[in-house]
């Protein structure tokens, strides 16, 4: 895609700090560096996000993720890592080429906060929601 910044990086039109590349994927340091070593893993095929990804592209992309995550963690001496993917603007996606963030973590005070809300479960509602999702998976 001509106006996609990640496609331009893949094509070498924009410089990047590459950490891994093969025929199917590219990994490079995010220019924001949320924490030192913040890396992006992208498929070379232009696809908007995971919601639009084929099983083949997903397989190729996610197959590289564990090895890359271990390499980033080892190289940065991080004690933990968040692996994050945002799909669509409401979820925080700002570049509309699929990408996975690998964010090394160093301490509770590194400026990143992810909190999950805990509610008393409504098991009837959960069962209905699970059934609806199962129907969609089957189609």
Residues annotated as part of the active site:
99
Q: Which residues, in sequence order, are CB contacts of 57 under 8 Å at separation 6+?
A: 24, 43, 45, 47, 98
Q: Angle 28-96-104 (CA atoms, 0-180°, nearest 5)?
A: 35
d(CA 3, CA 10): 12
DSSP 91-118: GT--SSS--EEEEEE--TTSS-------
The token pair at 110 is 């590194």
Q: Which residues, in sequence order, are CB contacts of 126 under 8 Å at separation 6+?
A: none
CA 29 from centroid of its chain's CA atoms: 13
């Amino acid at each position: 895609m001509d106006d996609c910044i990640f496609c331009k990086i893949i094509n070498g039109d924009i410089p990047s700090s590459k950490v891994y590349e093969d025929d199917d994927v590219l990994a490079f340091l995010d220019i924001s560096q949320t924490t030192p070593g913040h890396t992006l893993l992208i498929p070379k095929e232009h696809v908007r996000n995971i919601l639009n990804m084929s099983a083949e592209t997903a397989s190729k992309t996610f197959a590289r993720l564990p090895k890359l995550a271990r390499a980033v963690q080892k190289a940065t001496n991080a004690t933990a890592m968040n692996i994050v993917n945002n799909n669509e603007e409401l979820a925080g996606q700002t570049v509309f080429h699929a990408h996975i963030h690998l964010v090394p973590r160093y301490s509770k005070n590194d400026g990143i906060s992810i909190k999950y809300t805990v509610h008393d479960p409504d098991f009837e509602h959960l069962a209905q929601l699970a059934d609806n999702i199962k129907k969609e998976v089957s189609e």
